[in-house]
Chain A
Amino acid sequence: MKQENEALIQFPSLSANEALARQIAAAFAAQMDPTLDELGDVKTAVSEAVTNAIVHAYPDRIGPVSLRLRRLPGNVLEITVKDRGCGIPDVAKAREPMFTTGGAERSGMGFTIMESFMNSFALRSVPGKGTTVRMRKKLTGRVNGE
Chain B
Amino acid sequence: MTYTSLLQDKRLTILLSGEIDHHSARQTMEAVTSKIDVYLPRCCVLDFGAVSFMDSSGIAIVIHTLRAMEELGGEVWLANIPPQPMKVLRAAGIEKLVRLGAERSPA
Contact = CB atoms under 8 A, between A and B. Distances in A.
A19 B23 contact: yes
B25 A48 contact: no
B99 interface: no
Interface stretch (A4-12, A69-77, A105-113): A105-113
Interface string A46-85: 0110010011000000000000000000000000000000
Main secondary structure of the interface of B (DSSP, over half): helix
B80 interface: no
Given A18-B23, A19-B19, A104 B60 contact: yes
Interface size range on B against A: 20 to 34
Interface residues of A, number: 29
Contact of B57 (A16, A37, A105, A117): A105
A40 interface: yes
A138 interface: no
B5 interface: no
19 contacts: A15-B21, A15-B22, A15-B23, A16-B23, A19-B19, A36-B83, A43-B84, A44-B87, A51-B21, A98-B92, A104-B29, A105-B22, A105-B26, A105-B64, A109-B56, A110-B56, A113-B91, A117-B87, A117-B91
Interface of A: 15-16, 18-19, 22, 36-37, 40-41, 43-44, 47-48, 51, 54-55, 97-98, 104-110, 112-113, 116-117
